[in-house]
């Protein structure tokens, strides 16, 4: 069926008045029809993510119901039934999509456990394992702009679904007609019948206990009190972050008023990503007035965190790599000092995260494991340790995109935990007359002056996915011989699984799963890594420099950042 015929079918079948109005409004707009119907949403390891609106390529109640029917068929066929946990964030339509998900699952004989109110993504991961569910659904688009929403699916291990399981679900979704057999139970009636159950407060208390059990220096925040400015960026973090900080002794928390309450329109920033200055700008303004020791912001589903610290009277935003390196170094230091370091400890980082972490881990005798981008791969390493009966070996995992985890109580990044650890770490270094500006400089003096930047290139226009594929194919057909004037000496192609030394011609094997990523190592030790985003229509270029001086690293990074985008024709 052509996408125009599908558009006409939607005009006949849709009963939702808002979507009907949208369909009517585009009847004479071929481009708008194509944008909504030409390329349907595809279910993958990140589930679904798209712009809210009418059409097979958009997030709406019909695409959610169809996806849920496919998920229900998967659970019934693989497990013979079972339970699924459901949670949602503050985005527009999130609660409605969650209720629709629960209703369709109930209609198909699946027991549903759903939170009474919006909750962070890590609390969905926790519920899946705590309640023994076969799967979990989190309605969120993480830190995307307000026009987006998404449908993230977790396996029984609390991790995002593997490639194989996601493919198995998608194969069932493809068999489901958008408008046939996708209806659900009446939510309230299913709740009354016990087919849908609200998650009890006792589970929340178990989650908070699990987070707080990851403290290393208990009561340090009481002994060395902090003043903190916090922003939940109009998302889900407000209650859980403040609860945990209160529990560990951080009493002086000032919340950014304009960003305190849930609001899916995110009125104060177009892109509620705590990695960006725009999202943090109101909090930074409040910091200038309140002069806190620490500024923390969590993204809408509270799995990522942004941080700023006072530096010579001003507030410096820490990068995701800086936060990760600081936390790794603190955890290793504190566990060693308190004689709580497990035998054969393990830390995990993604391939695009700072290799400075490797040197820190080595200095403490910690095994550093490198995995593909996507926190599910870090969660997978925790699962492997659990299956081997030694989950306690895992001490920390991180991604440069501001995602962190310590301990195996969940299998996803957790900004509630990260908020707690950042406060504990700040108080700890205060007890040593150090701060979060001094400590990185200590590390750079010891291991080299690392600098990291990410260049983002947008491909939001029609055909963006195809264009990104073409860019990556071109890089493989004709690899660059130099970047920013520095000779390329090594190429790692994670899709081909090859690691090529250009001087000797020797080709090694990359043992990680295949992924559309290319890394260029330059003659001066700098690296340039190119990767299409798996969740957004953009390409990312990850840049690393490391020289013997801060000035030298800054100079190299400036050259890389200015010229590297030419690699992808930007």
> Can you give the residue ranges of every domain in the chain?
3-199, 208-446, 448-568
Cα angle 550, 489, 502 (rounded to 5 degrees) comes to 170
Question: What phi and psi values does residue 40 have, to the nearest 5 degrees?
Answer: -70, 155
Angstrom CA distances, 294 to 244, 254, 277, 283, 436, stand at 16, 11, 16, 11, 9
d(CA 147, CA 373): 25
The pLDDT assigned to 460 comes to 73
d(CA 499, CA 491): 6
The pLDDT assigned to 207 comes to 98
Angstrom CA distances, 88 to 206, 235, 473, stand at 19, 10, 37
- State both tokens at 195: 């087919």
CATH class held by domain 448-568: alpha beta
Q: Are 351 and 370 in contact (CB under 8 A)?
A: yes
Classified as helix, coil or strand, 301 is coil
Q: Which helix (H) or strand (E) holds 197?
A: strand 196-198
d(CA 376, CA 322): 21
Q: Are 50 and 57 in contact (CB under 8 A)?
A: yes
d(CA 90, CA 266): 9
The pLDDT assigned to 315 comes to 95
30-37 and 3-13 helices cross at what angle (nearest 10)?
Answer: 90
Find all residues with CB under 8 Å of 528, minimum gap 6, and list them: 483, 519, 520, 522, 541, 542, 543, 560, 564, 567
Angstrom CA distances, 107 to 186, 190, 199, stand at 9, 9, 19
Q: Are 440 and 322 in contact (CB under 8 A)?
A: yes
Backbone torsion region of residue 473, taken as left when φ is above 0, otherwise alpha when ψ lies between -120 and 50, otherwise beta: alpha
Straight-line distance from the first to the last Cα atom of the chain, in angstroms, rounded to the nearest whole number: 36
Q: Are 221 and 250 in contact (CB under 8 A)?
A: yes
Does domain 208-446 fall into CATH 2.170.16.10?
no
Q: DSSP state, 566?
A: G
- State both tokens at 1: 């069926």
d(CA 127, CA 114): 9
d(CA 321, CA 493): 23
Asked whether the whole model's pTM tops 0.75, one would answer: yes
Q: Are 23 and 7 in contact (CB under 8 A)?
A: yes
> Does 3-199 match 448-568 in CATH topology?
no
Q: Are 10 and 23 in contact (CB under 8 A)?
A: yes
Per run of 10 residues, the mean pLDDT along the chain (length 570 residues) is 92 96 96 93 88 97 98 98 98 98 98 98 98 98 94 96 92 96 97 98 98 96 98 98 98 98 96 94 97 97 97 92 98 97 98 96 98 93 96 97 96 97 98 95 96 88 78 92 94 96 94 94 96 81 96 97 87
Question: What phi and psi values does residue 307 have, to the nearest 5 degrees?
Answer: -140, 140
Residue 208: CA atoms inside 13 Å, Cβ hemisphere, count? Answer: 17
The pLDDT assigned to 462 comes to 60
d(CA 241, CA 163): 32
Pick the CATH number of 3-199 from 3.40.220.10, 3.50.30.60, 3.40.120.10, 3.30.9.10: 3.40.120.10
Classified as helix, coil or strand, 41 is coil
Positions annotated as catalytic residues are: 142
Q: Which helix (H) or strand (E) holds 69?
A: helix 61-79
């Amino acid at each position: 069926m052509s996408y125009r015929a599908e558009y006409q079918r939607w005009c006949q079948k849709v009963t939702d008045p808002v979507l009907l109005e949208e369909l009517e409004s585009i009847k004479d707009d071929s481009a708008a029809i194509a944008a909504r119907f030409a390329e349907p949403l595809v279910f993958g390891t990140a589930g679904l993510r798209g712009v809210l609106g009418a059409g097979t390529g958009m997030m709406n109640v019909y695409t959610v119901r169809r996806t849920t029917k496919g998920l229900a068929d998967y659970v019934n066929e693989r497990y013979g039934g079972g339970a699924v946990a459901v949670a949602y964030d503050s985005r527009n339509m999130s609660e409605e999509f969650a209720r629709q998900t629960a209703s369709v699952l109930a209609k198909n004989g699946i027991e549903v456990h759903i939170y009474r109110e919006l909750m962070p993504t890590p609390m969905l991961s926790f519920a899946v394992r705590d309640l023994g569910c076969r799967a979990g659904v989190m309605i969120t688009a993480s830190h995307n702009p307000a026009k987006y929403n998404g449908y993230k699916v977790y396996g029984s291990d609390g991790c995002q679904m593997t490639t194989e399981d996601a493919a198995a679900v998608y194969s069932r979704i493809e068999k489901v007609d958008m408008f046939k057999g996708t209806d659900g139970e009446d939510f309230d009636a299913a709740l009354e019948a016990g087919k849908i159950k609200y998650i009890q407060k006792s589970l929340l208390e178990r989650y908070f206990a699990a987070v707080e059990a990851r403290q290393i220096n208990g009561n340090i925040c009481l002994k060395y009190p902090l003043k903190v400015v916090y922003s939940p960026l109009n998302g889900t973090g407000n209650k859980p972050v403040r609860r945990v900080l209160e529990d560990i002794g951080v009493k002086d928390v000032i919340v950014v008023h304009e960003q305190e309450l849930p609001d899916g329109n995110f009125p104060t920033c177009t892109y509620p990503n705590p990695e960006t200055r725009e999202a943090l700008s109101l909090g930074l303004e409040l910091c200038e007035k309140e002069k806190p020791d620490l500024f923390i912001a969590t993204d809408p589903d509270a799995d990522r965190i942004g941080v700023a610290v006072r530096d010579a009277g001003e507030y410096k935003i820490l990068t995701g790599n800086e936060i990760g390196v600081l936390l790794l170094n603190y955890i290793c230091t504190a566990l060693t000092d308190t004689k709580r370091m497990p035998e054969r400890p393990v830390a995990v980082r993604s391939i695009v995260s700072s290799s400075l972490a490797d040197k820190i881990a080595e200095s403490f005798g910690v095994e550093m494991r490198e995995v593909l981008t996507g926190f599910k791969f870090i969660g997978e390493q925790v699962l492997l340790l659990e299956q081997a009966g030694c989950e306690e070996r895992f001490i920390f995992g991180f991604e440069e995109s501001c995602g962190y985890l310590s301990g195996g109580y969940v299998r996803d990044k957790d900004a509630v935990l990260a908020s707690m650890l950042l406060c504990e770490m700040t108080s700890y270094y205060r007890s040593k007359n150090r701060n979060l500006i001094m400590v990185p400089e200590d590390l750079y003096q010891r291991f080299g002056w690392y600098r990291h930047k990410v260049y983002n290139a947008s491909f939001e226009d029609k055909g963006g996915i195809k264009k990104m594929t073409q860019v990556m194919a071109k890089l493989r057909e004709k690899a660059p011989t130099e970047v920013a004037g520095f000779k390329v000496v090594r190429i790692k192609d994670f899709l081909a699984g090859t690691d090529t030394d250009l001087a000797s011609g020797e080709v090694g094997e990359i043992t990680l799963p295949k992924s559309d990523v290319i890394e260029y190592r330059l003659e001066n030790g700098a690296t340039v890594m190119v990767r299409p985003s798996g969740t957004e229509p953009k390409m990312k270029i990850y840049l690393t420099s490391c020289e013997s001086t801060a000035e030298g690293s800054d100079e190299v990074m400036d050259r890389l950042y200015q010229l590297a985008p030419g690699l992808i024709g930007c």
